[in-house]
Structure 1
Amino acid sequence: MEAAFAAIPIGQSRTGKATYYNDAGFGACGTPINASTEMLVAVSYQWWTSANPNNDELCQGISVEVSYHGRTITVPVKDKCMGCTSEHIDLSLPAIRALGTDDVLNGITWKFVRSGGGGGGGGGGGGACANARNWAAGTPYTAGTVVRYTDGRYYIAEHDNPGYDPIISTWYWDPYAC
């Protein structure tokens, strides 16, 4: 087993592979997860530096921005992938579907970001919020889609839906920070 990396390279673009999983229980950050319904990512054990993963820097507001064939999502780090190399990430089922498939993705680009977007080193905003559409009733949305609601707040579709109102249909939508 390789030693853990000393620092999280915020904003540094990487090329690699994404797989998916759909486990439920507690993630490495010590919080309940359901990878079959929740947008999240597990990153390689090689990135974790704390003996107690609950205290790891990765659990302190770090997300991963993933791009593949013109689609970009930003998902929080909530778990550790013991079978992943440093360039391989394991997305939840809704997250990989938001990239257009539920198969192995080779040639993705991804980077660590502070939750809420941003990239470090001259990066900044961007990601899902920069590509957010204005929400419209009756417009179908797939899981992982970020929309700008009529009051200017952002929401992410946790489940596919036919255009339900994010304020009313909270099972389908979660608030999203940009």
Structure 2
Amino acid sequence: MTVRGNVARWAAGLLGAVLFTVLGVGTAFAAIPIGQSRTGKMTWYNDAGFGACGTPIDASTQDLVAVSHQWWTAANPNNDELCGGISVEVTYNGRTITVPVKDKCPSCSAEHIDLSRTAFQKLAATDLGVVNGITWKFVRAGGGGACATAPNWAPGTNYQAGTVVKYVNGRHYIAKHDNPGYDPVISTWYWEPYTC
């Protein structure tokens, strides 16, 4: 092996290590495993303010979930795929609920979800604090029939994040963020194309 080859390999390895460290490559998962059942634990919280998706939340009165920081991949969490109509279906003790992802849990492991107080109460008593042995999975809001029941988009109509609409061009769009009826083709921060 030549000296030039050794230097090139050393430089490439160093660059990879720097990028790994600076960009945090490997700390987040590449894709959301929609529909894959997981086993883990749940806790609850009751914070109010703005969630990681950039929308107002009140975890003491709204059903929602904060998922582990390990699932978030966008530099700006407001633009993360998790904020584009992804929910979590949670099952415990014979009960199942589905709640939208609205926040990030910085201290949670990948299998740990942090439910809002109201969502947690639908599955267990809050005095338990931590419940192990739950099953949960990521699901798309609206499920498989979202396009069949999607209303026609109408300007000036309030749409919540996760709502699927049929636009005038015949295509479907999903609200990434709550909005007062912004045009899906123009307001791409609020909407993204949705595949049925």
TM-score bracket for the superposition, by shorter chain length: 0.5 to 0.7
Task: Give the unaligned 5+ runs of structure 1.
Answer: 119-123, 126-178
Distance in 1, matches of 2:112 and 2:31, equals 17
How many residues matched?
A: 120
SS in 2 for 1:46: helix
| Structure 1 position 18, deviation (Å) | 0.1
Match of 1:61 in 2: 85
Match of 1:22 in 2: 46
1:14-163 alignment, distance < 5 Å: 14-102=38-126, 103=128, 104-117=130-143
Q: Is the 8 A contact 1:63 1:74 kept in 2?
A: yes
Distance in 2, matches of 1:101 and 1:79, equals 22
| TM-score, length basis structure 1 | 0.65
Post-superposition, which runs of at least 4 consecutive aligned residues in structure 1 deviate over 4 A? none
| TM-score, length basis structure 2 | 0.59
Letter in 2 for 1:78: K
Question: Percent identical across equivalent pairs?
Answer: 76
Structure whose alpha-carbon radius of gyration is higher: 2
The structure in which a higher percent of residues are helix is 2
Letter in 2 for 1:96: F
Q: Is the 8 A contact 1:37 1:94 kept in 2?
A: yes
Q: Is the 8 A contact 1:74 1:117 kept in 2?
A: no
| Structure 1 position 8, deviation (Å) | 0.0
